Structure 1
Amino acid sequence: MKKLIILLGLFLAILSCKREQEKTVRVNGRNIELNGSPYLIKGICYHPVPKGSSERNFKNLSEDLSLMNEAGINTIRLYSPVDDVAVLDEIHQAGIKLIIGFGYNQNGYFDIFSGSFVDYINKYKTHPAILFWELGNEYNYHPEWFDGDMANWYNALNNAAKLAKENDSLHPVATAHGELPDSLALALSPEIDIWGMNVYRWDNPETIFDEWKVVSEKPMYLSEAGGDSYMTIEKNGYDQGENEKAQADATRNILEATFRNTKICSGVALFAFVDEWWKAGNPEQQDPGGWAPNSSGVPYDGAPNEEYWGILKNDRTKKLAFDVVKEKYLGMK
């Protein structure tokens, strides 16, 4: 009887350990692992703002998740946390994982500066939709936010990553860096587990993978990549004005280059899911123009028309790029 009790205890311990492994996202070498297997991010950047507004709103969530499922999207990248368990639950029920982003100074709303981001982590760290936490978004383009010294940001980033891991052993911590991190970024941020990179190298990001291989053995993914559907000028055979074909061609080339390099790159969060009419003018209408830092590599005109980046229009009409995403994401098993 005593042996039976011991064996039963061992069995329960093994089962508990297995369950813990299944709900824990881990970094293993260059891989992000979920349930013990490498996880390839077939992702989308998602910031749904209705026509006429400048505020994020999830009223279209059910329709959006259905479209994401159709396109084979398995990961949503959010630029700021969503404090609504019903939204998280619905995303989980759709079989999609979340990368939750935290800003540096958001007036105390789950931000890094106040330390309140840890409150969010502790509140939602056991939620099954969470893939990993992400600190900042291409802040290296804005030294003016940190007294002109990027070391101030990287030290804050590293401290925040350490604090996140002290409070949550279930998820890695990432950052979204503009382009390839330099030696200062890497030296001052050893607590970062995964490096996201916002990369706009025309329609081929391929060179960044070998560059990353030389400087780090950690996982990386493209936290932003893509093209818009508006040509400011006629170029490379693409007509001026709205041009879905230019966006679709760029999207195809970017995704093919990314998926050729999965030994180094853990996937991509394509920018973006839906056109964002609030960025360049009157939010009641779609306006060309806008501005983004380090954007000369935007295909195929070098101009980021900020309201035309969705693979869907604001009314959820599919653009040509949607079908490209669907083909490429569903083709990657």
Structure 2
Amino acid sequence: MTDLTRRRALFSGAALLSGSCLAALAVPARASAEPVVMADAPLLPAIRLTAALNRPHQDLSGAWAYSKDLYKTGWSTLMDWKPNRGNQRFSDVDVAAEEARDRYALFEYDMQNAPRMALPGAWNAALPQLRYYDGLIWFQRTFLVSPKPGERVLLRFEAVNYVTQVFVNGKTAGAHEGGFTPFTLDVTGLVRDGVNQVTLGVDSSHTDQSVPPRVTDWDIYGGVTRPVRLFVVPDTFIDDLYIRYTPEGRILAEARLMGPASAGSDVTLSLPALKLMARGRTDETGTAHFDLKAPRGLKLWTPESPTLYEVTVTAGTDSLSDRVGLRTIAVKGHQILLNGKPVFLRGICLHEEEFGSNPARNMTEPASRALLTEVKHGLNGNFVRLSHYPHSEVTTRLADEMGLLVWSEIPVYWAVAFGDARALTTARRMMAENILRDRNRASIIIWSVGNETPKTEARNHFMGTLADDAKRLDPSRLTSAALLVNKTKVDGVLHATIDDPMVDKLDILSANTYTAWYGNDRLEDVPAIKWSAPVDKPLIFSEFGADALAGFHAPDRRKFSEEFQADFYRATLANAATVPILAGLSPWILKDFQTPRREHPVYQNGWNRKGLLSETGARKQAFAVLAEWYSQRAI
């Protein structure tokens, strides 16, 4: 082992794994750092790696070298020339050694001697000078792997925001667009026996065609916000498992293999606790189908009794296990039915930020549990809207375990370029990646296709396409979107009409309402609001809320005081009690969250203060108001 190899091994902190070269499936080696155009990428991910958390893997969390590149010289230089050798941060080169060997060598980076950043975690929280950094940063580390015949090596990224290009040993491995969904790359043909280098070019900036668009009302959060993992799997491996329960009492499942022996292979499915085992054979697509009669002893998943069953799939030398809940979800008129029985959704919205004054969107199991515990046991809730993008798989799996129903959405938010084909392709890919990751989570009952979007023909086609995609990929769940409401005043009474063209496409109507916070209406107007819709479907108040700075009290109960927020909740909940089609609530929001849009120097300072909890977890007066209302609804 050379001195360079030893130094890189120490840099990686990685354990030795096995892997292999698989020439037939290798990624083409390219040295270019030009951003990959994603428009031509397939809508469905080439590799799904469902339940990846349950597979043996090497976690690449820890210290990564990083190098800021605001002007993107690692992608292009003056006049859009390709980057020269001195700017290619992805190159497989020891810069210090090259400089020592050749006094004329010119490098404007040195990744081996660059500063380190702990990943996962948004760079905005790493250093004060990166708080509002929005652009390109390069990350690099090494890992150890020893390829073996009959195996392949996969790199999986749970979330990197926003556009990512991946290099292994100086060669392009792949690229991805989207900050909240996973992607997996086959790097078998790029790795070597021993120390390997992985480099990421991560660009957090958004364009007019990105999803979400340039302007949002949450924080930038650039970087690697969820774990990076290295997997070694058999040449032919179990890539996907989809299992669900039907109203007819059947357990349906599909297992998908990937690899040269995927077609015509034997597959076994077992649920030991239910004493179920079935054997199948894959078709030409590599998919085996199962249809089993559920035994009498089956316990359906509910928020009150979130029963999970171990399910295992085996095929060849590969095995995959997961813990799943079995239940049904449907609508009937204005009711939502869980396992055939009406359920009222007692919920709250949630951004993916951990408690603390400097959140890094590092959603560990303890961080996520702390938030969901406030929903389940603090607010007496049974439902959470994960806003405004797919949250960590840690969170959705905890919702399964804790018994919380979940609304999951992609960031089709505000002014997305609805008429742009590239933006639609990006959104469709995000929807597919989100559903394929989480469609075995019993907690998830709603796939949402948008939030507060304008009513235009282009938008209707855009979101309608996403709703159709959701039904094709997962017909066992419901669809919705947070819609804008048309409000008029008749004889002094506010009338709220959900006249959105999307109502015919969606299973559930959802409305965001901020009457008496935004606009000229007063709290006295809120309890009497009359709600109507052109179809008989369930309605969710998907957002409502008012800002309050924790600890600020005002005798006149003015805005931004805890008293005003509590009064706002009392008025809106009084109105909610009068709406016959209402099937649930998800007020805005559980916890104060960061956003550059909110800069009142006294009350906000870069925080949206609509949380019922402060950023550090202090409960405001409105928390108790909602908790008591939910307690009564739970009886």
Whole-Å separation in 2 of the counterparts to 1:205 and 1:174: 25
Q: Say which SS state the counterpart of residue 139 (structure 1) adopts.
A: coil
Pairwise CA RMSD:
3.5
Q: Deviations over 1:170-191 (max 9, x none)?
A: 10100111224665x32x6632
Whole-Å separation in 2 of the counterparts to 1:48 and 1:264: 30
AA in 2 matched with 1:245: E
Whole-Å separation in 1 of the counterparts to 2:423 and 2:368: 22
Structure with greater contact order relative to length (CA < 8 Å, sep ≥ 6) = 1
AA in 2 matched with 1:255: L
Structure 2 counterpart of 1:74? 382
Determine whether 1:224 maps to 2:543: yes
Q: Is the 8 A contact 2:485 2:498 kept in 1?
A: no
Structure 2 counterpart of 1:100? 408
Whole-Å separation in 2 of the counterparts to 1:279 and 1:269: 24
Q: Is the 8 A contact 1:206 1:258 kept in 2?
A: no
Whole-Å separation in 1 of the counterparts to 2:602 and 2:596: 9
Determine whether 1:28 maps to 2:302: no
- Of 558, 581, 591, which aligns to 1:274? 591
Q: Say which SS state the counterpart of residue 568 (structure 2) adopts.
A: helix
Q: Is the 8 A contact 1:173 1:193 kept in 2?
A: yes
CA-CA distance at 1:307 after TM superposition: 2.0
Whole-Å separation in 2 of the counterparts to 1:20 and 1:280: 44
Whole-Å separation in 1 of the counterparts to 2:624 and 2:429: 41
Q: Deviations over 1:19-67 (max 9, x none)?
A: 8996121011111111111121111110043556576443422222222
CA-CA distance at 1:80 after TM superposition: 0.8
CA-CA distance at 1:73 after TM superposition: 1.5
Q: Percent identical across equivalent pairs?
A: 21
Q: Is the 8 A contact 1:199 1:225 kept in 2?
A: yes
- Of 324, 327, 330, which aligns to 2:628? 327
AA in 2 matched with 1:309: K
Residues 123-142 of structure 1: matches in 2 within 5 Å?
123-140=437-454
Determine whether 1:49 maps to 2:353: yes
Gapped runs of 5+ residues in structure 2?
1-249, 251-291, 302-325, 487-496, 517-522
| TM-score (normalised: structure 2) | 0.41
AA in 1 matched with 2:447: W
AA in 2 matched with 1:246: F
Whole-Å separation in 1 of the counterparts to 2:451 and 2:436: 22
Determine whether 1:249 maps to 2:554: no
Deviates more, 1:88-97 or 1:272-281: 272-281
Determine whether 1:58 maps to 2:352: no
Q: Is the 8 A contact 1:280 1:289 kept in 2?
A: no
Q: Is the 8 A contact 1:110 1:119 kept in 2?
A: no
AA in 1 matched with 2:569: T
User: More strand by proportion, 1 or 2?
Assistant: 2
| TM-score (normalised: structure 1) | 0.74
Q: Deviations over 1:219-259 (max 9, x none)?
A: 111110122215xxx9993246x410110111122123213
Seen in structure 2, the aligned counterparts of structure 1 residues 94 and 308 have a Cα distance that, compared at 3 Å, is: same
Whole-Å separation in 1 of the counterparts to 2:602 and 2:558: 19
Gapped runs of 5+ residues in structure 1?
1-8, 144-149, 291-305
Deviates more, 1:115-124 or 1:270-279: 115-124
Whole-Å separation in 1 of the counterparts to 2:424 and 2:392: 9
Q: Say which SS state the counterpart of residue 504 (structure 2) adopts.
A: coil
Whole-Å separation in 1 of the counterparts to 2:596 and 2:436: 33
AA in 2 matched with 1:76: V
Q: Is the 8 A contact 2:562 2:620 kept in 1?
A: yes
Residues 1-333 of structure 1: matches in 2 within 5 Å?
13=293, 15=295, 23-49=327-353, 56-59=361-364, 60-68=367-375, 69-78=377-386, 79-84=388-393, 86-104=394-412, 113-140=427-454, 150-180=456-486, 183=499, 185-186=500-501, 190-202=504-516, 203=523, 204=526, 207-209=529-531, 211-212=532-533, 215-229=534-548, 237-239=556-558, 242-261=560-579, 263-280=580-597, 287-288=603-604, 307-333=608-634
CA-CA distance at 1:138 after TM superposition: 0.4
Deviates more, 1:88-97 or 1:52-61: 52-61
Whole-Å separation in 2 of the counterparts to 1:319 and 1:30: 33
User: More helix by proportion, 1 or 2?
Assistant: 1
Whole-Å separation in 2 of the counterparts to 1:45 and 1:110: 25
Q: Is the 8 A contact 1:313 1:319 kept in 2?
A: yes
AA in 2 matched with 1:102: I
